[in-house]
Amino acid sequence: MRKITKHIYALAIVALAIGGCSPSTEEAPALASPDEFRQPAEALLAGEVMAVAYSGFREGQHPDRGDGAVNPSEAEILEDLRILLDHDFKLIRLYDTGENSVATLELIREHDLSIKVLLGIWLRAELSNHEGCAWLDEPIPDAQLAANTLANAAEVRRGIELAQQFDDIVVAVNVGNEALVEWNDHMVPLDRVIAYVRDVKAAIEQPVTVADNYEWWIKDGAPLAAEVDFLGIHTYPAWEEKTIDQALAYTVENMERVHAALPGKPLAILEAGWASTAIEFGDRASEANQTRYYDEMLSWANETNTTVFFFEAFDEPWKGDPNNPLGAEKHWGLFFVNRSPKQAMK
């Protein structure tokens, strides 16, 4: 078994799942007691429990995974990092190895910012999930899948290189984001994800994980759990029609069920959040409810010694339906897209 280095103790990440899945109708495993679930004291990064998912794309910008991408400038990224530091976020999650992520790492080093990074490796579709994904109308062409496989190999190489180059900043690496759940449009076979994880683990000292929905980990995660250093979990009560009164208890239940199904592994929530505006959620979406969920998650994280990557730092107008400005995908930020703070950050 590969030795877990000191960096694993820099993270006990509690990640919230991007919702969309309906709750399981199967009988849940017996819940772990609070004492069983509590993370070891060494798991936290310098005593930090609340981290944040960061994507710096502003109005008119979008990720460099697509054509015609416009990336944030170095000045804009530096402004973001300083805003996050001003609000005591010293651990952030990046989602890929693109030029915006590279610039973020370089700026942290250049300006000696006290921020550590969970580095992401973004995996594109290697099989067509047009039957399982409601918004994927047609099969992905074989030629595109082949090109994606080559792109994924290159992305893995870049992730390894960045983790090695910025080993003083990158405390862990995440391979793939929701690439295994049945409802995604960028599905990668489990054996391929495991192969990528093994490649990364063989090349770097930092711990390695994979980010996916809590339900996937419970039902299908055992083979992958045997490979990763900690479990990266997503959980989104709002997407599963929970009220704010139910939200924390449901999140904790998700975590306890993963712990019961896959005992013996540190747990990390890599995404957890609450939209401040969402036509899909009606009155459940509000700044007041986002503030309550944030505060309750922070308290729970402290009590259980678990670091929560709250989703997310800034609103992302490029996401979702461009004709629906009130869509939930655009409004998970703790800050508006103009970088002014929402209620939770005031």
Q: Does any domain span residue 66?
A: yes
Domain count, the chain: 1
Q: What confidence category does residue 132 fall into, taking pLDDT thresholds of 50, 70 and 90?
A: confident
87 has pLDDT over 50: yes
Q: Quick check: 5 pLDDT over 60? A: no
Query: In this predicted structure, which of 53-67, 89-103, 222-236, 241-255 has the lowest mean pLDDT?
Result: 53-67
- Indicate the range of 41-45, 54-58, 264-268 predicted with least confidence: 41-45
- Predicted confidence band of residue 232 (pLDDT cuts 50, 70, 90): very high
Query: Which three-class secondary structure state does DSSP give residue 248?
Result: helix
Who's near 4: CB < 8 A, 6+ residues apart? 207, 229
Neighbouring CB atoms inside 10 A of 310's CB total 29
- In this prediction, residue 129 carries a pLDDT of 82
Helices (H) and strands (E) in the chain, counts: 9, 9
Q: What is the pLDDT of residue 4?
A: 35
In a domain, 62, yes or no: yes
Q: By residue range, what is the domain housing residue 192?
A: 6-345
Average pLDDT over residues 173-195: 95
CATH at residue 302 = 3.20.20.80
Handedness of CA 258, 263, 269, 270 (dihedral sign): negative
Give the residue with greater pLDDT, 10 vs 154.
154
Q: Could you tell me which residue, 65 or 299, shows the higher pLDDT?
A: 299
Of 140, 72, 81, nearest in space to 116 by CA? 81
Beta strands in the chain (DSSP E): 13-15, 50-53, 91-93, 116-121, 170-177, 208-213, 231-234, 267-272, 307-310
- CA 174 → CA 166, 168, 233, 238, 288, distances in Å? 15, 17, 11, 24, 31
For residue 113, pLDDT over 70 is answered with yes
Assigned domain for 1 exists: no
- Pair of tokens at residue 338: 């103009």
- Residue 25: pLDDT band with limits 50, 70, 90: very low
Per-residue pLDDT, averaged over 153-163, amounts to: 98
**DSSP annotation string for 39-99:** PPGGGSBTTB-EEEE-----TT-B-TTSTT-BPPPHHHHHHHHHHHHHTT--EEE----SH
